[in-house]
């Protein structure tokens, strides 16, 4: 197990390095920030002066090395616009995004497990058909449009829930609902397919032939085996949610990481972009490594192979 | 005498709008302590019949008529409208009647420790603490011959060998001293020596528990040695039933006779097809194959310096238990798993060890026919396309060439348009053979080519292989664990154990006068029609 974790750590370092490098290259490829930070009527001398002040007149290699040093020391520099530590600004936004991602993930997953188990326990074709139909409906609507529909119904028509900002628990409801429904649909499909496959397995028949209750077999035999592929998928997903609730954050003016990053990219605020990307990449790699370790603990066959 | 299992006029149908009868008018009974063998080929309904007894029919099938009683407790009586509920069935399953299934790997939960699985089987019908159940599980495992059971109980199925897994399955089945043990092809997935151990164990635990046995199998030899009575099933009906010895000594029905005739003969091939003067199909010289196992420093040596010569028109069988290196040897010959040492000569010309390094002409010389004709054919290609593919790759395709190849293996234009799913197992294997012959190889590697087929089909495919060998002067490297099949087709036999050849001799000599103790052990383990009855006579309880 230890060499495995060591390998994954090395991979994590390589991933972060690659992310920073790509961000650096793409950032510089779209032009110097001096011109974008200053008003349109600024003189070329003013632009040059700003570029010099921010260090953009140095050779590109030096700038890149400077970025790497910053990465190692955790110092990504100050935001060009806000004159504050970029890392500080990123970390300040993290709780809001984590809150959104966690609730969407947890609610989606728990409800999906419950629904998949209910379909198996009742053996109801109607339930499966309804779930499948509702899932197809939800998936055919983009997140931002679904979010607007929710706002229309719950905020505009019913006036029951706030549609903007992060002020109370009530303001969590609509953004979480938007994301969680998407998650729910995906996990339900995966789990239902996976459980149905397990139902035909020989070891399930063995357990039933021993006189075990079908519900016991479902919980103790089928669910753990069916959960394995879903777990791997969940890892990828949670990692993705931590960095990518952008659309929903923008629609609901949610002060999270996604919104900070999109703003920073359009404003060429490189320190924030870099700090944000490193955080997202790390979160992704860490969550996935944790899931892989978990899967290997549950299924020792993968460790042997 | 009271019957432990009584099935009367059972009918099982497919569900749906146009039900098809899978089992029709089957009546069987098993008395206390008795061993009943149910013999039949795949699709004969033998498994469905007993699965129905425990309410375990697979989805898409249902009992449509008849009566089933276990220990005089009527579970199903379609005429009287009696249908046992899940609760009633649950009380019987595992306690009154317990099952041992075919594949002990897939029949155990891969994620749970074996001991925990045995313990949960114990707790189903005997409420006790987890700790007590664990202890009972270790006792049960010890009683079925699992050494160091206390330690091994904590490990998972993939860390157990096939034979040990089947022992664990038996341990679970006897947890509650059931009146009836139902064993559905319990040894089909196991080596012949392990099969003998498992059947001995079944006989031994039955002496202890007094359980009756239903042994479902396609192997007449196994039934001969392990049952008191026998029922032969064909197309969903019982065609013949009676005392095992009496039926086998004097079968009354045609089908039984055919089944017995299809058993590989207890005699050798009489007319060899070896062609003198032609270059040898294969010369393999001191082949060494090693595998790297993650987490272990030293590689595993699967084949350890094996030399092998196969003349044109000769069949050499390589036999041994699983893991002995016979498949690795074949892979090295084909270059799929390159040998790290040694040399391979095909059709008189040396070839490179790695398949990737071999030229097209070198690759053509050795082809393979796989064990499982179900997974070896692309389900979306027609038979014609499957056989045409190797020809197309070599730009040698003509419609006539494919038709000729199919003709050679006994298939016609009608088969050519079909998909593999629309063919029987035997027909699929014929397609596999035609495909392997397309590039006119010198050597055909036959990796258990008939072990997935029913005995009557086996005989036909073996006959086909014999004819093709005579026509084309092919060398066959025949890999098999079935010594009966080997005896009827091979000219020479090579016995492998732990990566080495322990004995090599002409077939007649190996079977009449085996020299190595391991060869003798292998031969003794093969169940025979005239073999001795294993275990004590059944307990008679009045």
Residues of chain B with pLDDT under 50: 537-542
Phi, psi at A302, each rounded to 5° = -65, -30
Could you tell me the strand order of the sheet in which B82-83 lies? B21-31, B3-14, B61-70, B73-77, B82-83
Q: Give me the pLDDT at residue B535, please.
A: 66
The residue-averaged pLDDT of A1-27 equals 83
Provide the β-strand partners of residue B304: B288
Burial class for A72, CB neighbours closer than 10 Å (0-12, 13-18, 19+):
exposed
Cα(B466)–Cα(B362) distance, integer angstroms: 24
Residue B326, token pair as written in the block = 């016979």
The residue-averaged pLDDT of A200-225 equals 93
For the cut 90, the answer to whether the pLDDT of residue A33 exceeds it is: no
Cα(B383)–Cα(A286) distance, integer angstroms: 50
For the cut 90, the answer to whether the pLDDT of residue A81 exceeds it is: no
**Residues A270-290: b if buried by 16+ CB within 10 A, e if exposed:** bbbbbbbbbbbbbbbbebbbe
Q: Give me the pLDDT at residue B540, please.
A: 43
ipTM value, please give it: 0.79
Q: Give me the pLDDT at residue A303, please.
A: 55
Cβ contacts of A110 within 8 Å, gap of 6 or more:
none
Q: Give me the pLDDT at residue A1, please.
A: 66
Q: Give me the pLDDT at residue B168, please.
A: 94
Please check whether residue A125 touches B, CB under 8 A.
no
Q: For a pLDDT cut of 70, what percent of chain A falls above it?
A: 96
Fold match between B3-101+179-261 and B279-360+486-525? yes
Q: Is there a contact between A221 and B91 if contact means CB atoms under 8 Å apart?
A: no
Higher pLDDT, A296 or B476: B476
- Residue A288's nearest CA partner among A100, A15, A98 is A15
pLDDT band of residue A305 (cuts 50, 70, 90) is: very low
Question: Can you give the length of chain A in residues?
Answer: 305
Query: Which of B107, B160, B168 to mutate to probe the A interface, most A CBs <10 Å?
Result: B107
Q: For a pLDDT cut of 70, what percent of chain B falls above it?
A: 97
For residue A200, give the chain B residue with the closest CA. B58
The domains of chain B are located at: 3-101+179-261, 279-360+486-525
Could you tell me the strand order of the sheet in which B366-369 lies? B366-369, B443-447, B475-480, B315-319, B492-497, B500-506
Q: Is there a contact between A211 and B90 if contact means CB atoms under 8 Å apart?
A: yes
Q: Which CATH architecture has domain B279-360+486-525?
A: 3-Layer(aba) Sandwich (3.40)
Burial class for A98, CB neighbours closer than 10 Å (0-12, 13-18, 19+):
middle
Cα(B240)–Cα(B243) distance, integer angstroms: 10
In chain B, residues with a C-beta closer than 8 Å to the C-beta of A200 are 58-59
Write out pLDDT tens, residues A49-77: 877 777 777 888 888 888 888 888 878 87
Cα(B347)–Cα(B441) distance, integer angstroms: 9
For the cut 70, the answer to whether the pLDDT of residue A10 exceeds it is: yes
> Is CATH 3.40.640.10 correct for B3-101+179-261?
no
| Helix H or strand E segment including A224 | helix A223-243
Q: Give me the pLDDT at residue B247, please.
A: 94
Cβ contacts of A41 within 8 Å, gap of 6 or more:
none
Please check whether residue A203 touches B, CB under 8 A.
yes
Q: Which CATH class is domain A95-267+291-297?
A: mainly alpha
Which of A:262-301 have CB within 8 Å of B? 298-301
Q: Give me the pLDDT at residue A43, please.
A: 80
């Amino acid at each position: 197990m230890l060499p495995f974790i060591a390998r994954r750590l090395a991979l994590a370092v390589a991933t972060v390095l690659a992310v920073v490098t790509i961000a650096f290259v793409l950032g510089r490829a779209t032009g110097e920030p001096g011109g974008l930070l200053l008003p349109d009527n600024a003189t070329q001398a003013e632009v040059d002066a700003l570029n010099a002040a921010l260090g953009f007149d140095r050779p590109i290699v030096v700038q890149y090395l400077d970025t790497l040093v910053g990465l190692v020391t955790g110092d990504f520099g100050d935001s060009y616009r806000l004159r504050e530590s970029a890392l500080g600004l990123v970390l300040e936004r993290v709780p809001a995004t984590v809150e959104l991602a966690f609730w969407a993930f947890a609610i989606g997953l728990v409800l999906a497990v419950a629904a998949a188990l209910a379909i198996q326990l009742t053996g109801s074709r109607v339930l499966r058909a309804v779930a499948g139909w509702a899932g197809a409906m939800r998936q055919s609507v983009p997140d931002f449009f679904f979010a607007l529909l929710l706002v229309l119904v719950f905020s505009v028509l019913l006036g029951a829930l706030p549609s903007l900002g992060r002020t109370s628990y009530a303001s969590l409801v609509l953004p979480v609902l938007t994301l969680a429904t998407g998650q729910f649909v995906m996990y339900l499909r995966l789990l239902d397919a996976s459980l149905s496959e397990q139902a035909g397995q020989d070891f399930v028949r063995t357990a039933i032939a021993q006189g075990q209750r079908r519900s016991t077999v479902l919980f103790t035999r089928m669910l753990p085996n069916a959960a394995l592929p879903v777990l791997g998928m969940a890892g990828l997903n949670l990692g993705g949610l931590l960095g990518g609730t952008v659309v929903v954050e923008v629609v609901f003016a949610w002060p999270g990481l996604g919104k900070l990053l999109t703003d920073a990219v359009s404003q060429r605020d490189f320190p924030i972009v870099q700090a944000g990307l490193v955080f997202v990449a790390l979160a992704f790699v860490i969550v996935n490594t944790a899931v892989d370790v978990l899967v290997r603990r549950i299924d020792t066959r993968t460790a042997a192979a | 005498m009271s019957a432990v299992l009584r099935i009367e006029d059972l009918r099982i149908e497919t569900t749906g709008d146009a039900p098809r009868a899978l089992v029709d008018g089957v009546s069987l009974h098993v008395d206390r302590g008795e061993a009943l063998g149910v013999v039949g080929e795949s699709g004969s309904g033998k498994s469905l019949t007993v699965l129905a007894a425990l309410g375990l029919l697979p989805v898409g099938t249902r009992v449509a008529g008849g009566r089933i009683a276990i220990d005089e407790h009527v579970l199903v009586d379609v005429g009287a409208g009696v249908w046992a509920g899940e609760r009633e069935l649950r009380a019987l399953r595992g306690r009154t009647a317990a099952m041992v299934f075919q594949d002990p790997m897939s029949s155990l939960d891969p994620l749970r420790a074996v001991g925990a699985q045995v313990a949960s089987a114990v707790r189903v019908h005997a409420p006790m603490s987890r700790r007590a159940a664990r202890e009972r599980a270790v006792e049960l495992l010890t009683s079925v011959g699992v050494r160091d059971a206390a330690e091994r109980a904590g490990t998972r199925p993939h860390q157990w060998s096939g034979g040990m897994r089947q022992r664990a399955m038996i341990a679970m089945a006897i947890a509650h001293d059931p009146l009836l043990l139902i064993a559905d092809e319990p040894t089909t997935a196991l080596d012949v020596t392990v099969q003998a151990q498992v059947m001995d164990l079944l006989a031994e635990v039955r002496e202890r528990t007094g359980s009756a046995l239903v042994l479902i199998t396609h192997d007449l030899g196994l039934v001969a040695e392990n049952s008191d009575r026998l029922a032969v099933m064909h197309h969903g009906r019982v065609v013949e039933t009676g005392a095992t010895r009496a039926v086998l000594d004097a079968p009354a029905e045609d089908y039984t006779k055919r089944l017995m005739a299809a058993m590989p003969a207890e005699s050798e091939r009489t007319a060899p097809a070896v062609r003198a003067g032609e270059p040898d199909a294969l010369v393999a010289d001191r082949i060494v194959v090693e595998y790297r196992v993650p987490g272990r420093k030293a590689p595993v040596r699967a084949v350890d310096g094996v030399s092998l010569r196969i003349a044109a028109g000769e069949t050499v069988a390589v036999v041994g238990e699983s893991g002995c290196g016979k498949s690795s040897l074949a892979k090295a010959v084909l270059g799929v798993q390159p040998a790290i040492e040694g040399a391979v000569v095909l059709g008189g010309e040396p070839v490179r060890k790695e398949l990737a390094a071999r030229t097209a002409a070198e690759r053509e010389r050795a082809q393979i026919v796989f064990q499982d004709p179900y997974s070896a054919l692309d389900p979306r290609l027609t038979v014609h396309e499957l056989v045409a593919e190797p020809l197309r790759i070599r730009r040698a395709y003509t419609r006539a060439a494919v038709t000729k190849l199919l003709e050679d293996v006994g298939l016609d234009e009608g088969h050519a348009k079909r998909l593999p799913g629309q063919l029987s197992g035997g027909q699929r294997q014929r397609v596999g053979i035609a495909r392997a012959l397309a590039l006119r190889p010198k050597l055909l590697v036959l990796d258990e080519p008939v072990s997935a087929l029913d005995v009557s089909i086996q005989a036909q495919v073996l006959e086909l292989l014999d004819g093709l060998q005579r026509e084309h002067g092919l060398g066959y490297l025949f890999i098999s664990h079935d010594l009966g099949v080997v005896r009827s087709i091979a000219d020479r036999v090579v016995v492998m154990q732990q990566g080495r050849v322990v004995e090599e001799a002409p077939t007649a000599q190996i079977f009449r006068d085996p020299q190595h103790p391991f060869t003798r052990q292998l031969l003794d383990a093969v169940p025979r029609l005239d073999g001795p009855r294993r275990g004590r006579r059944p307990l008679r309880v009045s």
